Chains A and B, each alone.
Chain A
Amino acid sequence: MSILVIAETRNGELKKASLSAVTCAKILAEKTGLNYNILTFEPSEKAKEELSQLGAEKVFVAKGEHLKNYTAENYAIAVSEIAKKVDAKYILATATTFGKDLLPRLVSKIPNSAMISEVIEVIDAETFKKLVYAGDIISTLKIKSEKKILSVRGTAFDKAGKVDKKSDVVEEEIKENYTRKRFITFEETKSERPELTEASIVVSVGRGIKDPENIKIVEELADVLGAAIGASRAVVDAGWLPNDFQVGQTGKTVAPQLYIAIGISGAIQHVAGMKDSKVIVAINKDPEAPIFQIADIGLVADLFQVVPELTQKLKKLKQESAG
C-alpha cells in the first residue's frame, strides 16, 4: 500500500502548487507509515530532476502520444493504472483547475473510492478538515472508502523542499486512449507579473475603481512592488479583468505575505479567497466596509488620491534602498 501524489506540469515545467500536495502526502505518510510515490506527465528534464528530490519512493512518468495534452479522461485512465500498480490507498493532488477537474473523475474509475476536496488539515488517516460556506465554517469530514482521493488546498500546506535522497524515475507506457474528447488549443494569459497563486504580494482591485481605464493606477502600484494583480468578483463580472484574476470562493485562493485590497468592500465570497494572507491592507473610502474588519492596516481614503501617492512614495523608497 502507498500514497500517490499527482504532480502537474505546464509546458514541461513543474507547477510549484503541486509541492503543497507533496507536503500533505508527507504528513499522511507519517500518520500511516506508508510511502509516497509521485506521478507526472510530460515533464522536462529539469522537472524530473526536481521531482526526484522530494523524498518519494519512486517518480512515475506516464507516457503516451495521447497524453501530450491534458484531458481528464486520459489522465484518469493513466492515474488509475499507476494507482493499481503501487496499490495506492491515497491519491492526492493540489486543487488547481487541473486537480479539481481530474481527481473526481478517478472516483468512478477506482472501485471503493471517494473524495474530499480542498483539504486544509490532516487529522488522522481518515479524518480531514475543509472549508465550507465560502470559508465561514470549517467542516471535519471522515472518509471511510478503502481508497481515498484528496485534493489539497495549496495555501494550507507549505511547498515541499528538496531532500538528499534521490528517487528513481520510472517511465510507464499507457495504451488505453479515450477518443470522445479532444484537446484543441490553450490560450495562455500573457503577463509579466508573477502568477496570482504564487506571488508573495498581491494588489487586488474592486468595484471602487469605477472604470476599467482606472485599473492602470493599480497596475502601477503592483509593478513597483513586483506584485500580482487580483480582482473581486464584481470587477470580473463587469468584464474589466479576466476571470483568471478573480480572488474568492468562486475564483482563486491566495495567501501572500502582503495583500492590498483597493476599493474592495470585502464581501464574504471575496474574503474566502484571501483571508489567510499574512498582512492585509485595505484602502476604501467607506469606513463601514467589511474589509476593515479583517484588515491588519486600514486606510479610509479616496483611492484615486492615495494609491498614486503610495506608488510614488514606494518608488522613491525603492530607489533609495537600491542606491
Chain B
Amino acid sequence: MKILVPVKRTQDPYVKVRLKPDGSGIDTSNIKYAINTFDEIAVEEALRKKEEFGGEVVVVSVGTQEWTEQIRVALAMGADRGILVDTGGKYIDHVIVAKVLAKIIEEEKPDLVIMGKQAIDDDANQVGQILAGLLDWPQATFAYKVEVNLQDRKAKVIREVDGGLETVEVDLPAIITTDLRLNQPRYASLPGIMRARQKPLKTIKIEELGVDLTPYVTIEKLETPPPRKAGVKVKDVDELIEKLKEKKVLPF
C-alpha cells in the first residue's frame, strides 16, 4: 500500500508566538520549528499501516528549502522518501496548497492520503477537505481510529465529532485527517536519523506544476489581542464565594 503524507513546518506548540515590535509580522527570532502536531500523528499512522500491509510512505511538503528539516524528521521516523514543492517563499493560500497536492497525487497515485486535520499556526482546518473535493475522493476527517481492509480496498474510520464518535466506511483511495488521540507518534531513533540522510528527497519548483499561484485569501494585518487583565487572588473558599456573588455568576 502506498500512503502519501503531506507535512507542514510549524512553530513548536509550547511557545507563545509574538509579533515583531513594529507589527509587520511574526517575530521568528525565538521560534523553534517542528512537524505540525497533527501531521506528526499522520506520519505515525502511515508508518503503522505500512508495518501492517507493507508498501511505501511518501512525505510531501509545500514550502521553502528550510522545510526539508521536517521532511528529514519524517524520514528518520521511517518514511521512505520525501518531496519538497519549493515555493521560494512565495505567499500561498489553502486552495493553492490543495491544488499543488492534487498534482502530486495525480503523479504518485497513492492508495491513501493521511494528513493533519489542521496546522497549529493558521488553525484553518481546510486543506484535507478541499483536496478530497478536488480529487472527488471520500474524506474521513478527525480520525480517532483507522482500520484498513486492503483486499476490499476499504477503510473503516472512527471520527471524533461533537457529542460522540461517528463511524464511516470509505472506499480507497481516500483522504484521512488525524485527530489527537489517533496515536502517540514515535521518536526518530539514531539509526533512523542516519538512514534518513540516504533516503531520496526530491525538490520540485512550484511554478513547474502548472497551478495558478494567485491567492484568493491574503493577510492584511496581524495584531495581538487585548490582554485579559489579571484579577484578584482570594485567600479562601469563603472569599471566593463572596466574589462569585458580587459578579452575579452563580445560578442561585
Using CB atoms and an 8 Å cutoff, list the residues of chain A in contact with chain B.
10, 71-73, 76, 96-98, 100-109, 113-118, 127, 130-145, 178, 180-189, 195, 197, 200-201, 225-226, 233, 236-237, 243-244, 246, 249-250, 252, 257-258, 267-269, 275, 278-281, 292-301, 306, 309-310, 313-314, 317-318, 321-322
Q: Is the CB of A98 within 8 A of B122?
A: no
Interchain pairs with CB closer than 8 A, number: 263
Question: How does the 8 Å CB contact mask read for B8-37 relative to A, with 1 for contact and 0 for none?
Answer: 000101101111000000100000000001
- Partner of B142 from A101, A184, A322 at Cβ < 8 Å: A101
Contact A243:B180 (CB < 8 A) given known A145-B216, A269-B13: yes
B90 beta carbon closer than 8 Å to chain A? no
B39 beta carbon closer than 8 Å to chain A? no
Q: Is the CB of A108 within 8 A of B133?
A: yes
Q: Is the CB of B218 within 8 A of A295?
A: no
Q: Is the CB of A297 within 8 A of B240?
A: yes
**Contacting residues, chain B, for A314 (C-beta < 8 A):** 241, 250
B residues 18-67 touching A (CB-CB < 8 Å):
18-19, 26, 37-38
Interchain CA distance A244-B237 in the complex, whole Å: 30
Q: Is the CB of A249 within 8 A of B120?
A: yes
Q: Is the CB of A104 within 8 A of B14?
A: no
**Contacting residues, chain A, for B77 (C-beta < 8 A):** none
- Partner of B216 from A114, A137, A243, A294 at Cβ < 8 Å: A114
Closest to A200 in B: B251
Interchain CA distance A306-B235 in the complex, whole Å: 11
Using CB atoms and an 8 Å cutoff, list the residues of chain B in contact with chain A.
11, 13-14, 16-19, 26, 37-38, 93-95, 98, 120-134, 137-142, 144, 156, 159-171, 174, 179-181, 216-225, 228, 230-234, 236-238, 240-241, 243-244, 247, 249-252
Contact A313:B221 (CB < 8 A) given known A100-B141, A132-B121, A294-B230: no
Q: Which 4 A-B pairs have the closest CB atoms?
A: A108-B133, A104-B129, A114-B216, A296-B231
The majority secondary structure among interface residues of chain B is mixed
Q: Is the CB of B251 within 8 A of A225?
A: yes
Name the residue in A107, A188, A225 with the highest tally of chain B Cβ atoms < 10 Å from its Cβ: A107
- Partner of B240 from A113, A132, A257, A281 at Cβ < 8 Å: A281
Q: Is the CB of B237 within 8 A of A310?
A: yes
A283 to chain B, nearest CB (A): 8
**Contacting residues, chain B, for A104 (C-beta < 8 A):** 94, 125-130, 133
Closest to A297 in B: B243
**11 additional contacts (CB under 8 A) given A96-B162, A133-B120, A136-B225:** A97-B162, A104-B126, A108-B131, A117-B125, A237-B180, A275-B228, A296-B232, A298-B230, A298-B231, A300-B233, A313-B237
Interchain CA distance A188-B163 in the complex, whole Å: 6
B177 to chain A, nearest CB (A): 9
B7 to chain A, nearest CB (A): 17
Q: Is the CB of B219 within 8 A of A298?
A: no
Interchain CA distance A297-B94 in the complex, whole Å: 41
Contact A250:B124 (CB < 8 A) given known A72-B141, A180-B170, A313-B238: no
- Partner of A292 from B156, B230, B252 at Cβ < 8 Å: B230
Interchain CA distance A183-B134 in the complex, whole Å: 21
**Contacting residues, chain A, for B250 (C-beta < 8 A):** 225, 258, 314, 317
Interchain CA distance A313-B238 in the complex, whole Å: 8
B113 to chain A, nearest CB (A): 14
- Partner of B129 from A105, A226, A268, A269 at Cβ < 8 Å: A105
Q: Is the CB of A188 within 8 A of B122?
A: no
